[in-house]
Structure 1
Amino acid sequence: GKATGSVPKGEMANTGEHQLHDLNLNEFDKKGFINYFRSLPEDPKILRVFNRKDFFSVHGDDATFVARTFYKTTTVVKYLGHGESALAGVTLNKSLFETVLRDLLLEGTERTVELYEEIPRQGWRLAKSASPGKLGAFEDELYRGGEMAEAPVVAAVRVAVKAEQRHVGVAYVNPTTREMGACEFVDDEQFCALEAVICQLGAKECVVPAEASPSPEGRRLRDVVARCGALATERKPSEFDARDLEDDLARLLAKHDNADTSFTAADV
């Protein structure tokens, strides 16, 4: 990341000790949290943040990433548990949490962010999630102080072969101009035309169909998205079905005709 976060003096006390004292968890809660965290599917594109009410925490590889990128030192990494089962963790105050959000979601295009909250007697649950092209969940944190920026353009891309030609379909939404658009064109195997379209749109995120097994064409498609400075997000192929397109559009347009609300990519 480009941005760095300053750490108030004294906030990370006893950083030389390998215990995450700031969490104040008993042994039962420690074990429960470690088991829950390790039950989550691994995904290097996701930064998972846990809301501890007075501060936030990140764990595992995310803890190392935050320590190196924002604290510029791994001495702030502490551990829950003991021995090989110990779980790395780093705590963040509200200011640094917002710095991390802005760095990853506004300036970066490589990660999504998930925020988890603990519900009494129910355990941890996913409360919010956002990506560079879908910021709505964290608008308050990202634009605190009135520093409102243009909302990002998000696009969806689907490729189909017809009569031995590669047809590329692109749909996009621009929340700032409140515009939606779609087009289809024939492209070469390097997706040169698609690259030009993504760059012209200035898309920060491109939604693409998930593949059951990686294919050379799928890799080329994702490489093109990355070269354009956008994040490739996978969704189920069934979500690209256009059979309900008219009903979906009618619902979206009716919602915003009847309510004084801003149009965001989160609605699409």
Structure 2
Amino acid sequence: MRSLSDIKIAIVDDEPSIVTMLQMVLRREGFHRLYAASTCAEALDLATRIAPDIILLDIMLPDGSGLELNAKLREYGNPYILFLTAKASDLDILRGFAMGGDDYITKPFNPLEVAARIQARLRRLEQEAPQSSHVKRPDPGVYRFGRFTVNEAEGELIVEGNPVSCPAQVFQLLVHFCKHPGIVFSKEQLYDKVWGIDGQGDDSTVMVHIRRIRERIELDPGNPKLLLTVRGLGYKLVKEPQKE
């Protein structure tokens, strides 16, 4: 397991007080490789030099939008991107996830919540990683569901023979469903199992990630046959497409 002091966190925000506050709290939590940028240009330069593991990204920056910057930052690795923004409407949050964000926190926020979400993300990664390079681990799963295949070890989603890009958190949610076909999971259970946040997330987070999975695996995302909504209960992934 990587030490917290080795995790590289970039804070991209043009408000110095927010950057200082986050740096202070994160250092107290054991993170020491902290970097700051106040513009899109600075953030891109930072990404090319250090390839951050985690990016706390403001949406409204002086020289552009963090939403559009998000895609460019992902060209330098596969960082976990958490949007920080004063835009708090449901539409803004849904757009943030649709543009590729892994998480979303609205301003004003408690910096301890940011630290807790980062810790939850790292716990999930630790659980998925081999416990020791000297311990033989069973071959990770390859899950086949008709028109798509998920290779957990390679981090690949193949749909009808073609690789399809999939953001990290979306992929982890899909893997969870693949490991438990036919099982219904509530939003609270998904937050606990995939996000590691004891069911305290925003309802829109799961909803948007479900939609992003459907956009990749379903013939008609608006009329899903594989990743189904079970009214009043949650969601389940089925092996065979649901028939009319």
**By the TM > 0.5 criterion, same fold?**
no
Which structure has the greater CA radius of gyration?
Answer: 1
- Relative to the length of structure 2, the TM-score reads 0.30
Greater share of helix residues, 1 or 2?
2
> TM-score, normalization: structure 1?
0.28
Greater fraction of residues in strand: 1
